[in-house]
Amino acid sequence: MIAMSYQYGKQFVHEVDAESEAITIGSVSKSQAKKTQIQSIHISDDPEKIFEQSPPSALDYAIILTSLYKHGYRDIILTTNLNWDQQPGLETQGLAHQLAMFSRSAISTPVTRVASPQSMPEVLRRSLIPMSRVTGNYRQLPCVNHAPISIHADSGKHTLAGFSEVESIQLTTGSIPLLAYWQDEGLIPSIELLTVMMAHTIKPSDIVVDCGHHIRLGKNGPLIPIDEFGHTTAPENPANQLAPLQAEKLMLPTNAKGRFHQLKPTALIHAVGVKSASTNTLSPERISRLVALSHHYPITETSATFVRLPLLASMMLLLDVALLSFWFGELTRSKRVLAYSLSAALLIPLLFVLLAALLYLSQHWLSLSAPLATLITAWACHVFRR
């Protein structure tokens, strides 16, 4: 109970261990764990005809990824549509092979809800937040059960997918969707939430969601406030971005390899050409907010851990309350009422403050339900005793 008093202050209940009955108090830190930058990679309409076709084919994307890897990039976010109607098997297999070289990769894809639920794509399933990590009313979140566009670049366990939009749901200005509920499965993150996860090296299984309140990314990751619909407020200040690079320029010989290896930014691929922009899954405004979100939220720090008061100390305290209550019962009716009134007004608040201070200094917590039940029961018996 003492620890729970931190819930709505600068400190909050960070973790409750049911096995050891320990309550960990966390605090918000303004510092960042690291400063991973995001490097925008622009795909134009290829006026110099370097690519095989425009918009780029699966083979073109494979070449772009190979060049990025050689430049030192190890994390990548793709916000363009990785689907080709012709489904060229060898080319998409080559693209998946090149994407598998990266340590972490994220792909954005739209989701929707249909009458007959469809199976969840594996790339989305790897992003799934299990319901065991979710508290609160998740029914207010958008419910989906279908990914209408196939992804031809699933490279395995290091590739996750986040939704770019929930079709038929209009976004409100100034809000960013972070969560959706996949019917009968669990919660899936948006590409924005995946970006924050990548910036702080967080796995889906490390996330804790308190619907309508916040998303906690790992033990010491950011605490992201959300509303009941799984949205958060867009950052007011734009992020400081690195100058964008043209994808076709990465194909040309460069002496900047060492510089890229030193920075190791996260590559963010999106299209800016007239023709290539049709493959984007995010608007330019959301791209800008996605970059700003990556380090917008402060990390959390562990302030203190409170363990439950030992059983012997709890029993002694309960015995003291019981003896005090029964001693009041031996007084005359008028004195008994006066004793309870003075205790309720003065003695109990002072003892509560003293007990709270002692518990805080010794880093223990105590459930007050048993002492209060004993006191109220004794009072009721004495008041209504004939």
198 and 224 fall within a common domain: yes
Which pTM value belongs to this model?
0.74
Average of per-residue pLDDT across 331-346 = 65
Per-residue three-class SS string for 171-217: CCCCEEECEEEECCCEEEEEHHHHHHHHHCCCCHHHEEEECCCEEEE
304 found inside a domain: no
What pLDDT sits at residue 177? 93
What pLDDT sits at residue 333? 65
196 and 86 fall within a common domain: yes
Query: Best-predicted range by mean pLDDT among 192-196, 311-315, 332-336, 351-355?
Result: 192-196
What pLDDT sits at residue 7? 45
59 and 26 fall within a common domain: no
* Reported confidence tier of residue 152, pLDDT bands at 50, 70, 90: confident
97 and 117 fall within a common domain: yes
Q: Is 248 left (phi over 0), alpha (psi -120 to 50) or beta?
A: alpha
> Among residues 159, 170, 171, 163, which one has the least CA distance to residue 146?
163
* Reported confidence tier of residue 6, pLDDT bands at 50, 70, 90: very low
232 and 152 fall within a common domain: yes
The pLDDT tens digits of the residues spanning 186-198 come to 999 999 999 999 9
Type of residue numbered 306: F
Kind and range of the H or E run holding 271: strand 266-271
CA distance 283 to 386: 77
Of 262, 297, 332, the one marking the end of a domain is: 297
157 and 17 fall within a common domain: no
- Alpha carbon separation from 131 to 18, 182, 196 (Å, rounded): 18, 11, 20
77 and 133 fall within a common domain: yes
Range of the domain at 19: 1-30
φ, ψ dihedrals at 17, nearest 5°: -95, 110
302 found inside a domain: no
Q: How far apart are the first and last CA of the chain?
A: 36
pLDDT at 151 over 50: yes
Q: What is the percentage of the chain residues whose pLDDT exceeds 90?
A: 33
Q: What is the percentage of the chain residues whose pLDDT exceeds 70?
A: 76
184 and 230 fall within a common domain: yes
pLDDT at 168 over 70: yes
The pLDDT tens digits of the residues spanning 193-252 come to 999 999 888 999 999 999 999 998 887 778 899 999 999 998 876 666 788 899 888 876
121 and 256 fall within a common domain: yes
72 and 186 fall within a common domain: yes
pLDDT at 276 over 50: yes
Q: Count how many domains the chain has.
A: 3
- CB of 266 within 8 A of CB of 198? yes
pLDDT at 107 over 60: yes
Based on C-alpha coordinates, what's the Rg of the chain? 28
